[in-house]
Structure 1
Amino acid sequence: MKNNTLITIGQNLRRIRKELNLRQSEITGGEITRNLISLIENNKTPLSETNAKIISQNMNLIMKERGLDIYIETEDILNPKRYDAKKKADLYIQQLQNYLNEKNYNIETEKLQEIELFLNNWNLNDKKVKIYELLGDIFYYSSESNKEFIYLTKALECSFMFSDIKSNYKLISKLVSNCINTGKYQEAITLGNLGLLSNNDMIDEHKGIFHYNNALAYKNLNQFDKSLEELVLAKKLINNTNNKTLKKIMTLEALCYSNKKNYNKALSIYKELLEISDNETNSDELCLIYTNIIDMFIKNNDIPKVIEHLNILNKYIPNVNENSSYLAKIYFEMSNAYYFLEDYDLTMKYLENSLVISKKNNQKNLFSKVLLKIFELSTKTNNTVKINLYIEKIKENLIDIDIDDKTKLLLNLVLYYLDNGYNSLVKELIQEILNK
């Protein structure tokens, strides 16, 4: 490439056209002549902004027909330096893709600052979409949910500059998952509805996944009827009995009925799930089904059925791959079952198994939940050895906790009570909050 202080607009048009593998006749759009293109590229006539717009529109139309995610703006043609900046952005995109390919999710602060500074200096919205999405993916895999949300949001905002970009719904889907994983359920529903409206060409399966995620958010908000309404819509769009998404839909459906205390309906769905599960179904998936069935019997206070299905579950556990992302959750649910049966030794055993695996898999939310259960069980059984053993882990886990104004208010109130010797008021306040 020639030095950008020497390259002319005509030469810039030629290099863009050739890099996109286009002929002069292809970018005229029938509105200007091929001869005019030739004159412009040879610096024999200037390129007007109107003609540059026609050329860029035709280039984009061809790129879209070829299924390529390339977008040429009018200014890219008229400003060679801007096009150089786009090529530099492509290098950043490749570098970030390499991070993901190599499963290296620890991007250096200096590199991140360098990319941010570059993007701030150039209004390259099409490149920002890709770069911000890749950064969001990197922070997803490094379990930095807040940063993932920030960069995916930036990517989505930039994507709205291009009404013909079809990947908007993919960004929205990632944001929905982030919101559900971080407890922002109402925001997840708002984004899910936006996703359903964002692309008329979206295939049914993707629409079904949006409805499923809406249902999951509603379920976590304890709005079980609304969740079931979304699941009806999801089922209509996903009707392949071997589809994992359909099994997730049915599982969530059963959970909703169980929470509504309609145990017969829930059990019939679980039985149907077990029937459509074949030899190809992973053991961890089967175990998750059985843990949900057990949870239902716990809610119904049916001790014999809990014991019966725990025995079945224990037959499948040895077949679960130790690297399964579900294993920590399965162990956690088993601990709940043994706690219900008042077998506290086995409860602690499965909690500790879950803690080790959730730590290994960087499942931060589950790790915190398991740690809380271990502490509660240890205090309930007056197991000071376990309390002292895990107290440092609890402190370490609190370092990353998000502190909002209400939490600050609570902590300051607790400090005030302690400083003034109001220990009973501290206990009363904390117990009241825990009861909520």
Structure 2
Amino acid sequence: MEEVNCISRGRLLKKVRKALGFRQYEIVGSDITRNLISLIENEKVALNDSTMKIVIENMNRLANERNLDVIIDERDLSIDGFFEAKQTANEYIDTLKHDQNITNINIDTYFEEINMFLNSWDLPSEKSIIFESIGDIYGRQREYNKSLIYYIKSFENTIRLFDYTRIIKICSKVMFCCIRLAKYEEALEYANMVETFKNESNGTLFISIIYNRALAYKYLGKYNQCINELNSLELFINERQLSKYLDIMTLKAICFKRKEMYKESLEIYGSIYQKASESVLDNKLLILVNMLEIYVILKDVVKVSELLDTIVPLLNELKQESIYLMLVYKYGHKIRF
């Protein structure tokens, strides 16, 4: 458990210095001499706050020069075990970043071990990264409930760091899981939490927040709000970013269709189909099948027939069975009114 104990700052300085492979003379500077370092480490002189600050600056400078992935702070020289705890946390981070290393481990048990360790130490930076990595692993396994739990833990620690880029990034992952779990109101709550950071960050970082918020509104049946969010996204996304542009415009067309504004929906689909002509087959089929659905609703036999003539050859290009085949069959039968 993290606490200040009877081990002196001098002894902790010696332990940390040796762990990093620094010599006494290498961490001197300003009014700090090698003799003073020796006296401090042998507990002949106390390590006061001003001296500790200079020593830490010197050690961090040296660590940077040697490309050591470590940052020393006052707690390393004040709390016994704190430096080692950071090292252990970084080992967990390295393992989680290369999650093939844990394929033969009982993942739930391993993650519980990490949780128990982290509960004993105030390490918001390391916790932010570790909990995000665990959330990513569960997300790839489509265990979105577990993924959400760890993303929220990561978010709570990231907030403490005032790192706006990471706050927005983690919030986007929280929202993604909320939407997957049909927790749409909760997704909107998280979007509102980070709204204040929008002006503190690059506007493009907020794209995923706005898009996820639009999705949440769509699933809640709040189509006007969804369209408003998508309109704001068009300030950041242009047609050259084809995949994102198609996602935005397709979602907008779906909202117009749900509002029974079929003309507006078809205009969007017609526009983006031209741009999707050089895109992947799935994009083209998605647009065409969505248009087919609208023309079936409108009972426009001619347009349905024309679209079927366009879609069927594309379906023949697919290398495996597709949901589009089922939808075409469904809509093709519906038009027999």
- The answer to whether TM tops 0.5 is yes
- The 5 Å alignment of 1:25-424 reads 34-36=30-32, 41-44=37-40, 45-49=45-49, 52=52, 72-99=72-99, 104=103, 107-164=106-163, 166-198=165-197, 200-279=199-278, 281-320=279-318, 322=320, 329-331=323-325, 333-334=327-328, 336-338=330-332, 340-341=334-335
Deviates more, 1:40-49 or 1:202-211: 40-49
Q: Is the 8 A contact 2:27 2:59 kept in 1?
A: no
Give the distance between the partners of 2:121 and 2:15, measured in 1 at CA.
Answer: 18
The aligned amino acid for 1:91 is: E
AA aligned opposite 2:334 = F
Alpha-carbon distance in 1 for matches of 2:34, 2:82 = 22
Q: 1:81 to 1:308 in 2, by over 3 A?
A: same
CA drift at 1:172? 0.4
How many Å separate the matches in 2 of 1:54 and 1:336? 74
Corresponding residue SS for 2:94: helix
- Shift in CA distance, 244/172, structure 1 to aligned 2, threshold 3 Å: same
Change (3 A) 1:246 1:106: farther
Q: Name the CA distance, whole Å, in 2 between partners of 1:55 and 1:200.
A: 37
Cα distance in 1 for partners of 2:151, 2:69 equals: 18
Deviation at 1:256, TM superposition (A): 1.2
Task: Write the distance in 1 (CA, Å) between the matches of 2:209 and 2:118.
Answer: 31
RMSD: 3.6
Deviation at 1:247, TM superposition (A): 1.5
Q: In the TM superposition, what is the alpha-carbon distance from 1:251 to its structure 2 partner?
A: 0.8
CA contact (8 A) 1:196 1:210 kept: no
Is this contact kept in 2: 1:52–1:78, CA < 8 A?
Answer: no
- What one-letter code is carried by the residue in structure 1 that aligns with 2:31? N
The alpha-carbon deviation at position 295 of structure 1 amounts to 2.5
Q: By how many angstroms is 1:51 displaced?
A: 5.4
TM-score normalised by L of structure 1:
0.63
Write the distance in 1 (CA, Å) between the matches of 2:332 and 2:18: 69
Q: What is the match of residue 380 of structure 1? A: none
SS in 2 for 1:8: helix
Deviation sequence 1:24-69 (CA, Å, 0-9, x none): 58xxxxxxx63337566545343334654677689899999xxx99
Mapped to 2, the partners of 1:138 and 1:205 lie a distance apart of 26
| Cα separation, partners in 2 of 1:63 and 1:338, compared to 1, 3 Å | farther
* TM-score w.r.t. length of structure 2: 0.80
Cα contact 2:124–2:158 (8 A) shared by 1:
yes
C-alpha contact (below 8 Å) 2:135/2:151 kept by paired residues: yes
CA distance in 2, matches of 1:267, 1:105: 51
Amino acid at match of 2:288: Y
CA offsets 1:265-305 (integer angstroms, 9 cap, x no match): 111111110122242x1111111112221222233343443
1:9 to 5, 9, 12: 12
Q: Tell me, what secondary structure is at the counterpart of 2:216?
A: helix
Q: How many residues align?
A: 320
SS in 1 for 2:98: helix
